[in-house]
Amino acid sequence: MKLAPSILSADFANLERDIQLVEKLGADYIHVDVMDGQFVPNITLGPNVVSAIRPVTKLPLDVHLMIVQPENYIEAFAKAGADIITVHQESTPHIHRAIQMIKASGVKAGVVINPGTPLSAIEYVLNLVDQVLIMTVNPGFGGQTFIESSLDKIAQLNEWKETKGYTYDIEVDGGIEPNTAKRCKEAGANVFVAGSYIYNSESPKERIAALRAVLD
């Protein structure tokens, strides 16, 4: 089970400190939320911030693109030091091509769907990807409530891994705390993004321990 703290809820004036804190506490990935104010109603950061944080951690950078025309930025994020780039099916009419581009840039490829999007929308790229991200909130902001219907999608994706021999990781993102993490794990998820639960706390150490207690 992998834990991927989301720096969306970190202190942007102290990203180095907040990234190294979770690395020291045993995080597996650093989850980087890229928002453009068009695909989602919030703006965060671009490739320059990814290059800036690349040297401060050894952990893989798990870059979640919530931007329109993601094809235009894949190379820039790969060059900036992303290890995994995940694109929304809803953000492009050519999700298959976008995934091919990610793979051609030499990094791991992920595909992600919003809570309102059915799994069938990504059925024909599941053989290509290293990771499938199931949004468990509507993307755009930290601190939202987990959407229950995501659990069915996780279970179905997990069943397909077994019956069709797919090898993708199943990642969940949004409203993850010990209770929801446990339920996602039981449904078949193995990568857990958590932002506000870890960072909006006096003790990220205790929060990470509480997540590990249900995951390991």
**Choices 2-10, 12-20, 97-105, 152-160; region in contact with ligand DX5 by CB under 6 A:** 2-10
133 phi and psi angles, rounded to 5 deg:
-105, 125
33 catalytically annotated: yes
> Restricting to residues 144-163, which ones interact with ligand DX5 according to CB under 6 A?
144
* Active-site option among 33, 36, 62, 130: 33
Count Cβ atoms below 10 Å from residue 97 Cβ, excluding itself: 11
> What x/- string results for residues 9 through 48 when contact with Zn ion is judged by CB under 5 A?
------------------------x---------------
169 catalytically annotated: no
> Restricting to residues 65-94, which ones interact with Zn ion according to CB under 5 A?
none
Count Cβ atoms below 10 Å from residue 179 Cβ, excluding itself: 11
Cα–Cα distances in angstroms (integers) from residue 43 to residues 46, 72, 169, 204, in the given order: 9, 17, 27, 25
Give pairs for 70-73: CB < 8 Å, separation 24+.
70/98, 71/97, 71/98, 71/101, 73/46, 73/47
**Choices 60-68, 158-166, 180-188, 206-214; region in contact with Zn ion by CB under 5 A:** 60-68
Q: Which of 33, 36, 62, 130 binds ligand DX5 (CB under 6 A)?
A: 33
Q: Which of 70, 81, 110, 139 binds ligand DX5 (CB under 6 A)?
A: 139
CA dist 43 and 106 (Å) reads 27
* Residue 140, marked binder: yes
* Residue 165, marked binder: no
Sheet-wide strand order for 84-88? 2-5, 191-194, 169-173, 131-135, 108-113, 84-88, 61-66, 30-35
Amino acid at 139: P
* Residue 62, marked binder: no
> Restricting to residues 178-197, which ones interact with ligand DX5 according to CB under 6 A?
193-197
* Residue 141, marked binder: yes
Residues 172 and 192: beta-carbon distance below 8 Å: yes
| Pick 160 or 190: Cβ nearer ligand DX5 | 190
Which sequence positions are flagged as catalytic?
Answer: 33, 173
Contacts to Zn ion by CB under 5 A: 33, 64, 173
